């Protein structure tokens, strides 16, 4: 028994909802509308996650100072961190739980748009929603997939720029610290901004229906994040899809 089979009841419910919408709307548009409704329902969790990120960013200089002060003394460090979080009425896990709670919802939607079902037999501009790019033939079908990947790349570029700005701001903050208080750069951090384009590569492995879902949810994530973090310094983030 597959672990993903536990999601089957929820996947069946999602299928019924999208099928009902597809009775009055083109199936591709029904997928977009369904995805937007789910993301709208999850928005309170996104707000909670954003509050947690802002709290961690605000406390980051204090945490770095405590790490320096209690280096090699893990017990004192843990006690000092606990006191800091208590004083600031924050939690080291603030923002993590809301993000984890969203994972089952995204898993259901991914399974719906990748598991063979009658919805994937519908078409958009003549391209079956269950078709992979490897099975595309003719200029028309390739153009549809090309536009899909271009849209994902555009959204990825927004995330890339934000991540680069966050990395630059973090580097500037570190450079302003005295030599003894600067943190050791973590290997691979320079590659983090490029993960924003990972969705494009992932979309090439899934059917067109899943690609439409990815475009919708990543666009929502970029817009939602820009709104929730308006007026604040960007924070590196690998968004859920």
Q: What mean pLDDT is reported for the chain?
A: 81
**What local confidence, expressed as pLDDT, does residue 147 receive?**
96
Q: Residues 208, 144: contact at Cβ < 8 Å? A: yes
Which residues, including other chains, have CB under 8 Å from residue 196's CB and lie 6 or more apart?
156, 157, 158, 159, 160, 163
The pLDDT tens digits of the residues spanning 89-105 come to 777 676 666 667 777 88
- Does the global pTM surpass 0.85? no
Calpha distance 145→135 (Å, rounded): 11
Determine the average pLDDT of the residues in 172-199. 62
The pLDDT tens digits of the residues spanning 139-185 come to 999 999 999 999 999 999 988 888 777 767 666 655 555 555 555 55
Calpha distance 209→26 (Å, rounded): 12
Bridge partners, 44 (sequence order): none
Calpha distance 98→93 (Å, rounded): 10
What letter does residue 178 receive in the DSSP assignment? -
The pLDDT tens digits of the residues spanning 105-131 come to 878 888 888 888 999 999 999 999 999
Calpha distance 193→236 (Å, rounded): 8
Q: Which residue has the higher pLDDT, 153 or 68?
A: 153
Q: Which residue has the higher pLDDT, 231 or 146?
A: 146
Determine the average pLDDT of the residues in 177-205. 69
Which residues, including other chains, have CB under 8 Å from residue 45's CB and lie 6 or more apart?
98, 99, 101, 102
CA nearest neighbour of 209 among 29, 5, 4: 29
What percent of the residues of the chain are helix, what percent strand, and what percent coil, each to the nearest 5? Answer: 75, 0, 25
């Amino acid at each position: 028994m597959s672990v993903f089979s536990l999601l089957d009841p929820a996947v069946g419910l999602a299928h019924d909802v999208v099928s009902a919408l597809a009775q009055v709307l083109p199936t591709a548009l029904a997928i977009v509308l369904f995805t937007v409704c789910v993301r709208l329902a999850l928005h309170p969790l996104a707000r909670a996650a954003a509050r947690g990120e802002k709290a961690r960013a605000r406390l980051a200089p204090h945490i770095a100072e405590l790490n320096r002060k209690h280096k090699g003394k893990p017990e004192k460090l843990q006690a000092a961190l606990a006191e800091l979080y208590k004083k600031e009425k924050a939690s080291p896990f603030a923002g993590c739980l809301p993000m984890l709670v969203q994972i089952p919802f995204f898993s259901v939607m991914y399974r719906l748009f990748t598991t063979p079902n009658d919805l994937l037999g519908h078409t958009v501009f003549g391209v079956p929603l269950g078709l992979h790019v490897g099975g595309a033939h003719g200029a028309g079908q390739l153009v549809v997939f090309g536009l899909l990947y271009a849209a994902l790349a555009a959204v990825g570029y927004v995330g890339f720029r934000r991540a680069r700005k966050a990395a630059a701001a973090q580097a500037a903050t570190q450079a302003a610290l005295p030599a003894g208080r600067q943190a050791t750069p973590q290997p691979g951090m320079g590659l983090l901004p490029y993960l924003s384009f990972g969705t494009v590569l992932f979309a090439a492995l899934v059917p067109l229906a899943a690609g439409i879902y990815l475009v919708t949810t990543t666009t929502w994530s970029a817009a939602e994040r820009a709104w929730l973090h308006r007026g604040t310094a960007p924070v590196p983030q690998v968004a859920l899809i």
